[in-house]
Amino acid sequence: MLPSGNRPSRPILAGSVALVAVGVAVNTGFDAPLRTVPALLLIALGVAGVTSTESDSGPARLQRVAKRWWLLAFAAFLPYALATAPASESAAAVGDAFAGPIVGLVLESIAGALVLCAVSMTVCYGFARYGIHPGRPTPEERVLSGDD
């Protein structure tokens, strides 16, 4: 269960997002042949931690949380996009501030982690919306009772 009712614990959430970001960085930053297994393990653990912070939330809250994650993911993607694929000279000038292998890896890891977390919250919202959620009747029970 979550501390303080249904609200996510910030340290758990921050640590989970950090695990996802490290998993993305491991998969992107290293050329070792066995990098995929630890990267997937870190990403899976991090995403499980992120989704567990909202496991007791209802569909309305999950929808708000999913929207926030997508806004964060978009905001994190902008600097990464400017650094890696500027479309104009002014964008290239801004992107030069983010140039460098370490900065690029960090930007990619953060953007990737936030997109993965946004996808996981969207999936949780979809499950809750369509009845596959703790505390709600199953889809079969809703069909049998006539509720929509």
16 falls within a domain: yes
Average pLDDT across the chain, whole number: 81
pLDDT at residue number 75: 94
Rounded to a whole number of angstroms, the CA Rg of the chain reads 19
Tell me: pLDDT of 59 over 90: no
How long a stretch of residues is the chain? 148
The amino acid sitting at 49 is G
Residues 61 and 54: beta-carbon distance below 8 Å:
yes
78 falls within a domain: yes
Least confident of 10-24, 99-113, 130-144: 130-144
Structural domain boundaries enclosing 141: 10-145
5 falls within a domain: no
Share of the chain above pLDDT 70, in %: 78
Residue pLDDT, tens place only, 84-98: 776 677 666 666 666
55 falls within a domain: yes
pLDDT at residue number 137: 67
Share of the chain above pLDDT 90, in %: 34
Pick from 7-21, 60-74, 125-139 the range whose average pLDDT is largest. 60-74
Query: Could you tell me how far CA 14 lies from the centroid of its own chain?
Result: 11
**Tally of domains within the chain:** 1
